[in-house]
C-alpha cells in the first residue's frame, strides 16, 4: 500500500494521509485489542479505530509518541492543522474549469479565457494545442511568500455549506518564540475576486518578508467571495476572516503564537477587511460554533486604499457626477435581506462606525487620484477623528490611483516609501507591547 498517498475516506479533512493517522502511541502496543472508546478521546482524531482494525496493520507501526501526532489532529470539531495542497489545487482547477470551459470539453481554450490570463499561462500549454487541460493547469504555481521559514500552505480552517476554506501560515525566519505575533493578510478583489496567494506577490511579498525576518508570523486568509446570487455577502467575508484567526488561536500551542498579538493588513477590499478585523468587536461576526470558543485581540492594522464608510454613497462618487450608482450595495445586502435592513447592513459594514478612543492604532493610506476607492474615504475618517480621538494615522499619496498607479505624475511618497512606512508602523506598534 502507498501510505503517503492513501487517503481516509470520510475524514474531516481529506488531506489526512494514513501514515500520519497510524503513527500512534505506545499505548497501542500494550493493548490486546482495539478500544476506540478508550483511545479516541486521547487522540481526538477524525476517524474510528474500527477502520484501523480492519486494515490489520502490524503492531510495530504504532510506536511514535503522541506529541508528534497531536499538532496535526483535529481539536474537538475544529479542522486539523494540515497542509492540504493537493486537495486545494484540485478545487481551484475545478473552479477554473467551471468558469472558463464553456464547451465542457475538459479544456480551457485560448478563446475561452481572457487575453491577459492566457498570456500569463500560455507557457504551460506543453502540447501546444491552444488549450489547457487539468494536468497542464496543475503545473501553474501558486505564489507564496519566499523565505527560509517554515510554511503551512492550503490549510482548511473550516467548511461552510460543503465548501472548504483555506489559509496559508508562514513562520518567521528564525522561529524561536512560543508567543509570536501574527500579521493577518486579507487580499483585495472587490470582495468578489482574488485569493490568498496575493500575500506572496510584488509589494506584499516585500512587506511580509521584512516582517517574517523581524519575528512575525503571517497568516493569509482565503474567504468566501461575494456572488451575484447573494448566497455570500460582504458580512460573510468578515466572518470568515475572523474564523481564520480563531482557527490559529485554537492551534496556538502548535503554532507557537499569541492570539492577543494580532495585526491586520490588506489592500482595497482587503483593506476594508483589515479595518473591520481591527475595529469591530470580535463577538459581532460569529461563524463556526466551535471556532467561536476561541478568542483573539487585534493590536494594530494597516489599510491600503480600503473604504471605511458605506453609509454615504457619495463617498464613492470620485467626480461628483449626477446619477451615481451604488456599486457595492448588492455585495452588502445578502439574498435574504429586506429593504428595511439596508441602513443597518451598511452601518455594520462601515469600519468608521466602530471607531472609538480606545480603538487600536490604524494606518490608513489612500491615493488622491483613486477612482475605485476615492480619497473621500480618507477624508471621511479624518472628519470622524475630529470628534473621536482615536489613534488613526492617515497618509495621502499624491498622484496615486488604485494599486498605487501613477496618474499624471510620479506618486509621492513613492511605492518604496509606502512599503517602508507600512513595515515601520507594524514594528513600532509591536514594540509598544
Tens of pLDDT, residues 127-160: 999 899 999 999 888 889 998 999 999 999 999 9
Confidence of residue 390 (pLDDT cuts 50, 70, 90): very high
Domain membership of residue 105 as a residue range: 85-138
Q: Tell me the mean pLDDT in the region 112-117.
A: 72
Residue 276 pLDDT exceeds 60:
yes
Q: Judge if 347 and 211 occupy the same domain.
A: yes
pLDDT of residue 121: 86
Whether 161 and 50 share a structural domain: no
Dihedral sign for Cα atoms in the order 193, 196, 200, 205: positive
Domain boundary residue, one of 72, 96, 111: 72
Helix 415-431 and helix 202-213: axis angle, to 10°?
30
Mean pLDDT of 265-285: 96
What distance lies between CA 372 and its chain's CA centroid?
A: 22
Neighbouring C-beta atoms of residue 84, cutoff 10 Å = 22
- Position 5 scores a pLDDT of 40
Same domain, 228 and 278: yes
Structure-model confidence comparison of residues 17 and 362, the more confident one:
362
Alpha carbons 135 and 125: distance in angstroms, whole number: 10
Task: Check residues 36 and 205 and name the one with the higher pLDDT.
Answer: 205
Looking at the fold, whether 238 and 323 belong to one and the same domain comes out as: yes
If one compares 102 and 394, the residue with the highest pLDDT of the two is: 394
> Looking only at Cα atoms, what is the longest distance across the chain?
81
Would 354 be classed as within a structural domain? Answer: yes
pLDDT at res. 111: 76
**348 and 425 co-located in one domain:** yes
- How many domains, in total, are found in the chain? 3
Res 227: pLDDT: 87
Report which of 248, 282, 283, 256 is spatially closest to residue 78, judged by C-alpha positions.
248
Q: Is residue 422 part of a domain?
A: yes
Question: In this predicted structure, what is the pLDDT of residue 215?
Answer: 97
Report yes or no on 327 lying in a domain: yes
Report if residue 426 sits inside a domain. Answer: yes
pLDDT in the model for residue 119: 82
Residue 31 in this model has a pLDDT that exceeds 60? no
The residue out of 50, 72, 94 marking a domain boundary is 72
Q: Are strands 362-367 and 392-397 parallel, antiparallel or unpaired?
A: parallel
Whole-angstrom CA distances from 346 to 118, 234, 318 are 37, 10, 19
DSSP-derived 3-state class of residue 353: helix
CATH number at residue 121: 1.10.238
Q: Is the same domain home to 67 and 105?
A: no
Q: What is the side-by-side order of every strand in the sheet holding 163-170?
A: 151-160, 163-170, 217-221, 180-186, 257-267, 298-304, 362-367, 392-397
On whether both 96 and 164 belong to a single domain, the answer is: no
Look at residue 402 in the predicted model and tell me its pLDDT.
97
Confidence of residue 114 (pLDDT cuts 50, 70, 90): low
Mean pLDDT check: name the lowest of 70-74, 257-261, 273-277, 387-391: 70-74
Cell of 225: 467571495
pLDDT of residue 213: 97
Both 218 and 243 in a single domain?
Answer: yes
For residue 13, being part of any structural domain is answered with no
Q: Give the domain CATH number at 320.
A: 3.40.50.1820
Examine residue 309 and state whether it is found in any structural domain, yes or no: yes
34 in any annotated domain: yes
Q: Residues 104, 54: one domain?
A: no
Q: Are residues 97 and 211 in the same domain?
A: no
pLDDT for res 211: 98
* Residue with cell string 439596508: 342
Last residue of a domain, one of 138, 162, 182: 138
pLDDT at 353 over 70: yes
pTM over 0.85: no
Q: Kindly state the percentage of the chain with pLDDT values over 70.
A: 82
**37-69 tens-digit pLDDT:** 333 333 333 333 333 344 444 433 433 333 333
- Give the mean pLDDT of the chain: 84
Per-residue pLDDT tens digits for 62-88: 333 333 333 444 446 899 999 999 999
- Per-residue pLDDT band at 433 (split at 50, 70, 90): low
**CB of 217 within 8 A of CB of 255?**
yes
287-298, pLDDT tens digit by residue? 999 999 999 999
| 394, 395, 399, 400 alpha-carbon torsion, rounded to 10° | -80
What pLDDT does residue 113 have?
66
- pLDDT score of 331: 94
Residue 7's pLDDT band (boundaries 50, 70, 90)? very low
Strands 131-133 and 180-186: unpaired
331, 190 Cβ separation under 8 angstroms: yes
Can you give the pLDDT at residue 27?
Answer: 36
Specify whether 101 is located in the same domain as 165.
no
Residues 27, 98: one domain? no
Q: Residue 307: which residues within 8 A CB-CB, separation 6 or more? A: 271, 272, 315, 316, 328, 373, 377
For the segment 211-220, the average pLDDT, to the nearest whole number, is: 98
Three-state secondary structure call for residue 107: strand
**Secondary structure of 67-103 in HEC code, one letter for each residue:** HHHHHHCCECCECCCCCCHHHHHHHHHHHHHHHHCCC
Asked whether residue 77 is domain-assigned, the answer is no
Amino acid at each position: 500500500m502507498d501510505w503517503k498517498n492513501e487517503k481516509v475516506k470520510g475524514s474531516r479533512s481529506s488531506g489526512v494521509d494514513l501514515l500520519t493517522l497510524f503513527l500512534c502511541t505506545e499505548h497501542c502496543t500494550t493493548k490486546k485489542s482495539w478500544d476506540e472508546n478508550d483511545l479516541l478521546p486521547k487522540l481526538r482524531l477524525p476517524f474510528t479505530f474500527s477502520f484501523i482494525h480492519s486494515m490489520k496493520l502490524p503492531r510495530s507501526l504504532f510506536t511514535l509518541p503522541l506529541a508528534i501526532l497531536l499538532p496535526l489532529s483535529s481539536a474537538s470539531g475544529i479542522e486539523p492543522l494540515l497542509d492540504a495542497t493537493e486537495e486545494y489545487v484540485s478545487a481551484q482547477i475545478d473552479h477554473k474549469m467551471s468558469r472558463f470551459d464553456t464547451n465542457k470539453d475538459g479544456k480551457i481554450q485560448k478563446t475561452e479565457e481572457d487575453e491577459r490570463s492566457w498570456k500569463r499561462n500560455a507557457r504551460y500549454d506543453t502540447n501546444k494545442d491552444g488549450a489547457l487541460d487539468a494536468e497542464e493547469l496543475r503545473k501553474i504555481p501558486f505564489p507564496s511568500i519566499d523565505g527560509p521559514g517554515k510554511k503551512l500552505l492550503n490549510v482548511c480552517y473550516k467548511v461552510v455549506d460543503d465548501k472548504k476554506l483555506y489559509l496559508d501560515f508562514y513562520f518567521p525566519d528564525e522561529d524561536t518564540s512560543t508567543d509570536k505575533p501574527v500579521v493577518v493578510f486579507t487580499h483585495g478583489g472587490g470582495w468578489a475576486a482574488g485569493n490568498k496567494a496575493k500575500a506572496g506577490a510584488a509589494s506584499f511579498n516585500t512587506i511580509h518578508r521584512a516582517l517574517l525576518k523581524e519575528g512575525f508570523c503571517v497568516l493569509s486568509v482565503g474567504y468566501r467571495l461575494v456572488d451575484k446570487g447573494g448566497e455570500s455577502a460582504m458580512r460573510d467575508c468578515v466572518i470568515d476572516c475572523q474564523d481564520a484567526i480563531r482557527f490559529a488561536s485554537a492551534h496556538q500551542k502548535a503554532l507557537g503564537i499569541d492570539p492577543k498579538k494580532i495585526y491586520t493588513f490588506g489592500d482595497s477590499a482587503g483593506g476594508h477587511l483589515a479595518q473591520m478585523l481591527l475595529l469591530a468587536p470580535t463577538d459581532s461576526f460569529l461563524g463556526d460554533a466551535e471556532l467561536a470558543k476561541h478568542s483573539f485581540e487585534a493590536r494594530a492594522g494597516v489599510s491600503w486604499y480600503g473604504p471605511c464608510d458605506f453609509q454615504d454613497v457619495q463617498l464613492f462618487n470620485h467626480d461628483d457626477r449626477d446619477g451615481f450608482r451604488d456599486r457595492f450595495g448588492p455585495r452588502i445586502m445578502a439574498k435574504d435581506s429586506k429593504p428595511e435592513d439596508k441602513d443597518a447592513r451598511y452601518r455594520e459594514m462601515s469600519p468608521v462606525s466602530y471607531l472609538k478612543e480606545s480603538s487600536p492604532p490604524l494606518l490608513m493610506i489612500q491615493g488622491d487620484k483613486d477612482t475605485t476607492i476615492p480619497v473621500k474615504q480618507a477624508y471621511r475618517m479624518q472628519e470622524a477623528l475630529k470628534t473621536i480621538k482615536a489613534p488613526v494615522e492617515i497618509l495621502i499619496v499624491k498622484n496615486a490611483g488604485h494599486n498605487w498607479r501613477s496618474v499624471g505624475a510620479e506618486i509621492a511618497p513613492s511605492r518604496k516609501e509606502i512599503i517602508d512606512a507600512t513595515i515601520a508602523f507594524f514594528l513600532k506598534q509591536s514594540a509598544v507591547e
